[in-house]
Amino acid sequence: MNDNVLEIQGLSKDYGDFILDKVSFSLPRGVIMGLIGENGAGKSTTINCILNETQKTGGKILIFGKDHILDEIEIKDKLGVVFDENHFPDIFTAEEIGKFMSGI
């Protein structure tokens, strides 16, 4: 049995003016990891590819030993993610967002 909760193998993303080039690492169960680097190093791109919020150009991503795209719903049922920004359109008021979120 594999004890890695996350495996990244040769992850690439090509934006044209920026390329995340063949990133590989694994995260063993029970370990806390942070991505540290200067602005533009690819930290957010890596996380967004892991979450399938951004489509990768190449490589393989396994979460809990499962393909992050083929098993996306099953995987995301087990994940908790907190973004540093909200993704609501600016046209909504806080009250409107509250009404929307109350139904979830």
| Whole-number pLDDT of residue 103 | 75
Cα dihedral 17, 22, 33, 71 in deg (nearest 10): 100
Range 14-19 average pLDDT: 92
| Whole-number pLDDT of residue 98 | 87
Examine the pLDDT at 86 and tell me if it is beyond 60: yes
| Whole-number pLDDT of residue 7 | 97
Pick 64 or 90 by higher pLDDT.
64
Nearest partner of 50 among 35, 40, 41, 60, judged by Cα: 60
Examine the pLDDT at 1 and tell me if it is beyond 70: no
CA distance 88 to 39: 24
Counting residues of the chain whose pLDDT is more than 90, the rounded percentage is 69
Over the stretch 34-72, which tens digit does the pLDDT of each residue have? 999 999 999 999 999 999 989 999 999 999 999 999 999
